Amino acid sequence: MKPIIKAITFDLWDTVFADDTDEPKRKQAGRPTKLIERRNLVQQFLQKHESISWDLVNAAYNAADAAFSKVWHEMSYTWTVRERLSIVLKGVKRELPETELAELIRLHEDMELEFRPDFAPGVHDAIAELKKKYKLGVISDAIFSPGRALRQLLEGGDLLHYFDAFVFSDEAGCSKPAPVVFEKAAAALGVQLNEIVHIGDREQNDVNGPHAVGARAVLFTAIKDRGSANSKADAICGDYANLAQAIESLNH
């Protein structure tokens, strides 16, 4: 018989936040997509020193994005924004003064704080209810928004105070499904790995990852269903109103 669940960890993107729901807000404000804005920013900062074409910046940025994706998926490591931009700058054979580079990094990291993504429907009520019985944590990969910015997004939605532990890939030095991120969460929550259930939307990261260390997993499908028909999750949840019951069923 498996141990009673004592703690719940949550993925953030497409689990607590609905990814890219900030894009319509950007469009309504007359702003370009995040992808275009990042490239615009790099060109603007470099143009202060010497002319450079947008196409060259775009090509270097595309190459850096492809390399980031490969390292993320194959090595469970998410480069910081500084690391990503250093690759872009090397690609165009240019440098920036440290003060300007730091500001360019900040503008990248804080982009989703200006136009914030929506929260998943029902997530506030569900988390408030679950907090009454379980310890709660966050295990999230940081793609452009680091742990610092992700905490601000949670605080802006009045959710930060519900969580007892945070494991962000830029702070942990690795990302899901690496065992160490789940081990760090268990240690911070003061529970055993087999007393955790992790909630997330990706089979590889949020189901296979916790299973590999003896934790349980709920595949969350309310925002995106990424193959629930073939999932090995311990439970499938398509509505936050049903999450508490789904977790309770794992205890029996």
pLDDT digits (tens, 9 = 90+) for 162-216: 999 999 999 999 999 999 999 999 999 999 999 999 999 999 999 999 999 999 9
pLDDT (0 to 100) of residue 109: 98
d(CA 208, CA 206): 6
Closest by Cα among 179, 192, 191, 247 to 218: 247
Task: List strand residue ranges (DSSP E) for the chain, in order.
Answer: 7-10, 17-18, 118-119, 135-140, 165-168, 196-200, 216-220, 235-237
- Over its C-alpha atoms, the chain yields an Rg (Å, rounded) of 19
d(CA 148, CA 168): 9
Q: Please report how the helices 98-109 and 34-47 are oriented relative to each other, as an axis angle in degrees rounded to 10.
A: 170
Domains with residue ranges and CATH for the chain? 7-19+117-250 (3.40.50.1000), 23-114 (no CATH)
Mean of per-residue pLDDT scores for the chain: 97
Q: What is the pTM of this model?
A: 0.95
3-state secondary structure of 168: strand
| Cα distances (Å, whole numbers) of residue 38 to 43, 129, 176 | 9, 39, 25
Rounded to 5 degrees, what angle do the CA atoms 65, 66, 71 make?
95
d(CA 205, CA 87): 26
pLDDT (0 to 100) of residue 252: 80
Spatial neighbors of 98 by CB under 8 A, at least 6 apart, are none
Q: Which residue has the tokens 């690609």?
A: 91
Whether the Cβ atoms of residue 136 and residue 127 lie closer than 8 Å to each other: yes
3-state secondary structure of 94: coil
pLDDT digits (tens, 9 = 90+) for 14-28: 999 999 999 999 999
* Whether residue 143 has pLDDT greater than 80: yes
